[in-house]
Every structure is written in structure tokens, then in C-alpha cells.
Amino acid sequence: MRALVWHGANDIRCDTVPDPEIEHPRDAIVKVTTCAICGSDLHLHDHVMPGMEKGDIVGHEFMGEVVEVGAEARSALKVGERVVVPFTIWCGECDQCKRGNYSVCERSNRNKALADKVFGHTTAGLFGYTHLTGGYAGGQAEYVRVPMADRTHIKIPGGLSDEQVLFLGDIFPTGWQAAAQCDIQPTDTVAIWGCGPVGQMTIRSAILLGAKQVIAIDRVPERLAMAKAGGAITINFEEESVVERLNELTGGKGPEKCIDAVGMEAHATATLDSMMDRAKQALMLESDRAHVLREMIYVCRPAGTLSIPGVYGGLVDKLPFGMAMNKGLTWRMGQTHVNRWTDDLLNRIQEGQIDPSFVITHTVPLDQGPEMYKTFRDKRDGCIKVVLKP
Ligand code: NAD
Ligand code: ZN
Ligand code: ZN
């Protein structure tokens, strides 16, 4: 089959590789009809996430048709069924899965020892990601093996296009969880850093969850325009001070809820002049790595919530933690517990409350995937979300 394969930093290729096979009775094989490139895939492309090996098949946003089912998954899944596959593999039996904490499933990561060594704990197995999360072959491919397939799927009813439901596997529940864990009240202002695909889903989710005012921050004009079309007030962080503008829009009080939909990328694009005064800038200059996190701590209203769907790895230091403590801020973060949210979100799509396909700007065949990684990373050609057709 054809698949997108990691060969090293800045080197993802479309290769011919062996078809996947059932390896365990709980496995299924899915023929991929549509898949997508995620901001998290850029961490692999740019090789800022460790634990990749040459030959790894990438991709964790995909859907398709079940073509083979192992003996132990047959009561839950049938050949011919149409499924979106969540990016988090979950067993359904461990203590964390029983609590709905699927992204920290204790049994789906087959490289537990490696994960413990680097993260200090085990996360769930993830598709097409680092060997720290199990090194499972990804879904930017014609076929994919789905481990623990009796749990790891979202069944899709007829009448909905691939594009309408594909994002149930990652970015829609990710944006939703980021907003939902802010416990949004009708009087709340929600500020969202990052208008990439995750930020866009977060904006729509915060509005569906009834926020009084949603403010979106980025510097890419097309992304800001899409945020505005979704109902947000926008701030271009290259043109104005984010903190000053947020204070202005909240009567000097600051937003009650602040969401980081940027992650590690912030250290590369931080503009220190968007900060408040020289003394604070001096503190921030020591490391721009946690620019968004710092901005959130400074501007969030006391007793507010910081929610962090953006992905970080390793150390992020020089945070004004004393300010966070004394403001009494609540922190929520993590990889998304995808299946916790998907029944509700599928209903909302069916009811017409939202059509997540609005975010797609590019649809291309799988073999154009490698160049599309670069278009998406560099935000060229108005690229916001790339969909691939194997
Ligand atoms: P993306 O790279 O397309 O979007 C990031 C956006 O942030 C860009 O539009 C960029 O211009 C903007 N940005 C950069 N620096 C900024 C700053 N200082 N202030 C405001 N905006 C800034 O990626 P994406 O697909 O939207 O993903 C966003 C993040 O979410 C990534 O870190 C990704 O790994 C993560 N993610 C997490 C989960 C999860 O389960 N928690 C799932 C999917 C993606
Ligand atoms: Zn993702
Ligand atoms: Zn589990």
C-alpha cells in the first residue's frame, strides 16, 4: 500500500510499504477513505518530538471502512462498517478508562517503559506518533491496523460526508474539551491563543457552550478571518499588545477563561513587544519558550481558568507561578479523551449545530502529502487544514 513515512527531520515521503495485518484478536483493519494533517504532526515533521524512527508511518486523524476484524472485536465491530478512529487507543478496562480518562489509558501504550523514562508516566497509545506513545503505524495510509478496535472507534451513521465527521477523531473533541473544561458561564469572556485548526474548533465550541464573548489571537490574516466568521473578536499579536487589548475588552478585569491552542510553536514566534512593560519584558526575555502561557497567567482574571490543549514536551520554565498561585488560577490540560465527547458531538453535527468541515482549505491525493506538510507548516496559500485522500 501507499503511506506517508517519516525518514527524518523535514523528510516525510509517500512510500510503498507492506499492508498491515491483524496481529491481535482485538485488532481491526480499516481502509482509509479520508485523513488529515494535524498541528501535532508538525512536531514530527520538524522533529521537535523525540522517539521517531525511520520508516514510521505517520498520521492520527483518519476514517474509513472496516475490512477485517479480529475474533475478540467482532461483537463490537463488523466488516463494512464506517468508522472514524480516535487518535487515542484505549482499552476500556483499566482504572483510567473506567473513569473516562482515555488519553491516559494504562494498557494501550505498548512502550510503557520508554514512556515512563521520558514522561515519568504512561500515556495512552497513539497512532502515527512517537515510540513514546507506542509507535503504532499511523493513518496517512491506504490501510491501518487499529489495536483494541472493539473500543477504539466511533461509528458513523449514513447521510454524513467524510468531511463532516472526520474531525471527531481529534480536533473537534480537542477544541471542545479545551472549552468544556473551562466550565464556561454565560458572563464569561474566553480568550483563545492560536487560530489553527484546534483554535478554530475551540472558538466554535466556546460559542456553542454559551460564552458571553470569545476573543481569538493569532497573526495569520486568513486564520483571523476564519475566527471572526465563527463569531470571535480577533487580535493580531504582531500588530497590537495582546494583554492591553484583552484588558480593554474586559473593562480592565481580564478574561475569566484563557485557552492555549498554540503549544510548543509559541517559542518560535513570540513577539516580546506584545508585552506590558519593561520590567516584565526583562523577565520574559530570559526565555520566550512559554510566551503564551506567561501571557495567559498575566492577563487571566483572578480565580479564572487556564486550559491548555496545545502540546508541550520537556521543560518549560520561567513561568510567573507565584502570580498564578496568588490569583487562584485553575489549570486544565492534556491530550484529549476523545471518546468521552464524541456521542454528544456527533449528535450536534447531525442536528446541524456545527459542520466541522468549515476548517478545510486544501484537499489533495495522499501522494501530495509531503509537500502539504510544508504548506501547512508555513501557512502558505491560505492553508488552515489539509485533508488527504488515499
Ligand atoms: P497550528 O500549528 O496550525 O496552529 C497554531 C497556531 O498558533 C498558528 O495559527 C500560529 O500562527 C499561532 N500562534 C503561534 N504563536 C502564537 C502566539 N504567540 N500567540 C497566538 N497565536 C500564536 O496547529 P493546530 O493543528 O491548530 O494545533 C495547535 C496545538 O494543539 C498544537 O500544539 C497541537 O500539537 C495541539 N493538539 C493537541 C491535541 C490534544 O489532544 N491536546 C490534539 C490536537 C492538537
Ligand atoms: Zn492531532
Ligand atoms: Zn485503558
280-333 pLDDT, tens per residue? 444 444 445 458 998 999 999 999 999 999 988 777 767 888 899 999 999 999
Supply the DSSP string of 136-175, one letter for each residue: B--SSBSEEEETTTTTS-EE--TT--HHHHGGGGTHHHHH
ipTM above 0.90, yes or no: yes
Count Cβ atoms below 10 Å from residue 100 Cβ, excluding itself: 11
Q: Is the pLDDT of residue 147 over 80?
A: yes
pLDDT of residue 161: 98
Q: What is the position in ligand 1's atom list of the atom closest to the CA of 43?
A: 34
Q: What is the mean pLDDT of residues 362-381?
A: 97
Tell me the backbone φ, ψ of residue 307, rounded to 5 degrees. Answer: -120, 130
Chain-centre distance for alpha carbon 120: 22
Chain-centre distance for alpha carbon 331: 18
pLDDT of residue 290: 58
Which residues in 175-197 are b (16+ Cβ under 10 Å) and which e? bbbbbbbbebeeebbbbbbbbbb
Nearest CA to ligand 1 atom 34: 40
Percentage of residues in the chain with pLDDT exceeding 90? 83
Tell whether ligand 1 has an atom less than 6 A from the beta carbon of residue 236: no
Tell whether ligand 1 has an atom less than 6 A from the beta carbon of residue 261: yes
pLDDT of residue 120: 73
| Alpha carbon distance 6, 140 (integer Å) | 11
Q: What is the mean pLDDT of residues 82-103?
A: 98
Type of residue numbered 53: E
Neighbouring-strand partners of residue 190: 214, 257
Q: Is the pLDDT of residue 270 over 60?
A: no
Q: What is the mean pLDDT of residues 147-172?
A: 98
Cβ contacts of residue 297 below 8 Å, gap of 6+? 306, 319, 320, 321, 323, 324, 327, 329
157 compared with 50, residue with greater pLDDT:
157
Q: How confident is the model at residue 47 (pLDDT cuts 50, 70, 90)?
A: confident
- DSSP assignment letter at 263: G
Q: What is the mean pLDDT of residues 108-133?
A: 87
| Alpha carbon distance 224, 274 (integer Å) | 17
Percentage of residues in the chain with pLDDT exceeding 70? 93
pLDDT of residue 329: 98
Tell me the backbone φ, ψ of residue 387, rounded to 5 degrees. Answer: -110, 135
pLDDT of residue 40: 94
Q: Which ligand is nearest to the CA of 61?
A: 2
Tell me the backbone φ, ψ of residue 42, rounded to 5 degrees. Answer: -65, -30
Q: What is the position in ligand 1's atom list of the atom closest to the CA of 335?
A: 40
Least confident of 103-117, 194-208, 306-320: 306-320
Q: What is the mean pLDDT of residues 275-279?
A: 43
Q: What is the mean pLDDT of residues 252-263?
A: 97
* Domains contained in the chain, CATH given: 2-170+336-389 (3.90.180.10), 172-333 (3.40.50.720)
Supply the DSSP string of 361-376, one letter for each residue: -EEEEGGGHHHHHHHH
Coil, strand or helix at 125: strand
pLDDT of residue 287: 44
C-alpha cell at 147: 489495536
| Burial grade of 151 (CB within 10 A; 0-12, 13-18, 19 or more) | buried
Type of residue numbered 237: F
Nearest CA to ligand 1 atom 40: 335
What pTM, to 2 d.p., does this model score? Answer: 0.94
Cβ atoms of 242 and 298 within 8 Å: the answer is: no
Nearest CA to ligand 1 atom 13: 194
pLDDT of residue 267: 55
| Burial grade of 230 (CB within 10 A; 0-12, 13-18, 19 or more) | buried
pLDDT of residue 294: 87
16 compared with 276, residue with greater pLDDT:
16
Mutate to test the pocket of ligand 1, among 42, 171, 215, 311 (most ligand atoms within 8 A of CB): 311
Q: Is the pLDDT of residue 279 over 60?
A: no
Among left, alpha and beta (phi > 0; psi -120 to 50; other), residue 281 is: alpha
Nearest CA to ligand 1 atom 24: 39
CA distances from 275 to 75, 288, 356 (A): 56, 12, 33
Type of residue numbered 182: C
Tell whether ligand 1 has an atom less than 6 A from the beta carbon of residue 270: yes
Q: What is the pLDDT of residues 170-186, one digit of tens each?
A: 999 999 999 999 999 99
| Alpha carbon distance 263, 273 (integer Å) | 20
Mean pLDDT of the chain: 92
CA-CA-CA-CA torsion sign (344, 350, 354, 358) = positive
| Alpha carbon distance 151, 73 (integer Å) | 8
Among left, alpha and beta (phi > 0; psi -120 to 50; other), residue 251 is: left
